[in-house]
Amino acid sequence: QSALTQPASVSGSPGQSITISCTGTSSDVGGYNYVSWYQQHPGKAPKLMIYDVSNRPSGVSNRFSGSKSGNTASLTISGLQVEDEADYYCASYTNRYTGVFGGGTKLTVL
Partner 1 sequence: QVQLVESGGGVVQPGRSLRLSCAASGFTFSNYGMHWVRQAPGKGLDWVAVISYDGSQKYYADSVKGRFTISRDSSKNTLYLQMNSLRAEDTAVYYCAKRDSSGAPPGKVNLDFWGQGTQVTVSS
Rounded Cα gap, residues 15 and 44, in angstroms: 25
Residue placing its CB nearer to partner 1 in the complex, 3 or 19? 3
CB-CB contact of 66 with 73 (8 Å): yes
Binding site for partner 1 (CB under 8 A): 1, 3, 34, 36, 38, 40, 45-48, 51-52, 57, 87, 89, 91-94, 96-104
Closest approach, Cβ 101 to partner 1, in A, equals: 4
Closest approach, Cβ 64 to partner 1, in A, equals: 15
Residue placing its CB nearer to partner 1 in the complex, 35 or 77? 35
